[in-house]
Amino acid sequence: MQQRSRAIDVHTHLNTPGPQPSEEELERAIRTARYYGIERLVLLGNLTAMGGPDPSMADVAAINSHTLRAMARYPETYIGFCYVNPAHPVSFLRDEIDRCVVQGGMKGLKLWIAVKATDPRLEPVMEAAAELQIPVLHHAWYKQTVFIYNESTPAEIAELARRFPEVPIVMAHLTGCGARGVLDVADRPNVYVDTSGGQPESGILEYAVGQLGPDRVLYGSDWPLRDFGVQIGRVRDADLPADVLERLLWRNAARLLRIEEDAP
C-alpha cells in the first residue's frame, strides 16, 4: 500500500453527461480519491461527453454548470475551473468567466483543443485570468500520431507564457510533453507542469523537477481516463526527497489555488 500523504489532484474530469452530475460518479470518484490520500480534486469539466473538441456556447455553459453543481454538492472536495472556447464571442467569454469565477467561485480557467495556444483569440481569456489573478490550465502534447483537432505543443504554451508573463499557466500532461516539452517551458517561470496522463514512464518526473525546480510541478491524474492510484503511484515512487514530493502533491497546488496550506 502506498504512503498516503495528502494530495491535491489538479487535473480531473467527469464523464457522465446530463444537466446534473451523476451522484454515483461523484461519490465514486471521491471515495476512490480518498483511498489514495487525494483530498481535493480540480474539476476541469466534462469535456468529452458534453462538448467535444470545439464546443458550442451552449455546450460550454452546460459543462460549467455541471462543474458548479459538483462544487456545490461536494465543496470540501471539488475545486472548479471554468472551461472556455476562445473561438466564442468576447462578450460570451467575459460573461461566462464572470458567472463561473466571480460569482461561482471557480479558481482557474481551462483551455483544451478548440484553438491553438498561439491563437490571438486567447487574448481576452488571458487578460481575464490576469485581472482575476487565477491560473490557466492548458492541454499540451508532443505527438507522433493520434493528433486531435487543434492540440497545442509545449512550444506553443511557452509562447503563450511569453506573451502573458503575469498569468500562471499549468501545462498539462508531463509524459506527453516529454523532455522536449519541459525544456520548452524551462525559462518561462510562469509555466507549471502537471503530471497527468500518458503511460507512467519512469524518470520524466525527476527530470522535470531537475529542470523546473520543485515548485513548478503539480500532481494531476486525468481521472477518469486515468487511474488515481497509478498516477499518484508514479509520483510517490519517484526518486525525489520527501519534502519535494510534498510540494508536488500538495503545497504547489495549494499556493497556486490559494488553498490554506496548513489545512488537514
- Of residues 230 through 259, those in contact with other proteins by CB under 8 A are 230-234, 236-238
Least distance CB 159 / other proteins (angstroms) = 21
Contact 80, 67 (CB under 8 A): yes
Selected from 20, 56, 103, 202, the binder of other proteins by CB under 8 A is 202
Nearest alpha-carbon partner for 194 in 240, 232, 156: 232
Q: By CB under 8 A, is residue 11 in contact with other proteins?
A: no
* Burial of 246 per CB tally in 10 Å (0-12, 13-18, 19+): middle
Q: Which is nearer to other proteins, 103 or 199 (CB)?
A: 199
In the numeric block, the cell 461566462 is attached to: 96
Least distance CB 42 / other proteins (angstroms) = 16
Nearest alpha-carbon partner for 101 in 124, 140, 63, 129: 129
For 77, the grid coordinates are: 472536495
Selected from 176, 196, 216, 256, the binder of other proteins by CB under 8 A is 176
For 86, the grid coordinates are: 476562445
- Of residues 104 through 163, those in contact with other proteins by CB under 8 A are 141-146
In the numeric block, the cell 501545462 is attached to: 171
Selected from 110, 226, 247, 251, the binder of other proteins by CB under 8 A is 226
Contact 100, 64 (CB under 8 A): yes
- The whole-angstrom separation of Cα 137 and Cα 76 is 21
Interface with other proteins by CB under 8 A: which range of 30-38, 104-112, 159-167, 244-252? 30-38
DSSP 4-73: ---EEEEEE-----SSS--HHHHHHHHHHHHHTTEEEEEE---HHHHT-SS--HHHHHHHHHHHHHHHHH
Interface with other proteins by CB under 8 A: which range of 56-64, 92-100, 158-166, 223-231? 223-231
Q: By CB under 8 A, is residue 17 in contact with other proteins?
A: no
Interface with other proteins by CB under 8 A: which range of 47-55, 72-80, 186-194, 217-225? 217-225
Q: By CB under 8 A, is residue 201 in contact with other proteins?
A: yes
Q: How many residues in the shown chain lie near other proteins by CB under 8 A?
A: 40
Least distance CB 83 / other proteins (angstroms) = 20
Write out the residues near other proteins by the rule CB under 8 A: 1-2, 15, 31-32, 35-36, 141-146, 175-176, 178-179, 198-203, 205, 207, 223-234, 236-238
